[in-house]
Amino acid sequence: MLKFFSKPPLFILLGALLACQLPAVADTSGVSSSISKAVQAATVNINSASAEELADTLIGVGLKRAEAIVAYRNTNGSFTSVDQLLEIKGIGEKLLSKNRHLIALK
């Protein structure tokens, strides 16, 4: 008789959990705009960014290389192509390929 009474609370608990299930489909309406904003925030405009901003955003670019990017920009004017970064000492194809998705030209 004692076994019989020990099982109903288990069934009640299980029933309550099943009744309180979350919906199978989550609301993702704001997710794409949040991701888009995050991607925009993670990019850097090489025509206006400071050396510190470049060093903080670009992979494998420290302050020294970032200062070289700014110096190149100040000497030659605004970048018209991301590939112009290859003209800067210390920036090669490998480094540029790691950062293309982070670079904006505006």
The number of distinct structural domains making up the chain is: 1
pLDDT, position 42: 84
Does residue 95 have a pLDDT over 80? yes
Q: Residue 90 belongs to what domain range?
A: 41-106
Q: Is 34 inside a domain boundary?
A: no
Question: Residue 91 maps to which CATH number?
Answer: 1.10.150.320
CB under 8 Å, gap of 24 or more: what pairs does 61-70 form?
61/91, 61/95, 61/99, 64/90, 65/90, 65/91
Q: Is 48 inside a domain boundary?
A: yes
pLDDT tens string 55-73: 999 999 999 999 999 999 9
pLDDT tens string 5-47: 556 666 666 566 666 665 555 555 555 554 544 455 589 999 9
- H/E element, 45: strand 44-45
Q: Is 29 inside a domain boundary?
A: no
Q: Is 35 inside a domain boundary?
A: no
Q: Is 99 inside a domain boundary?
A: yes
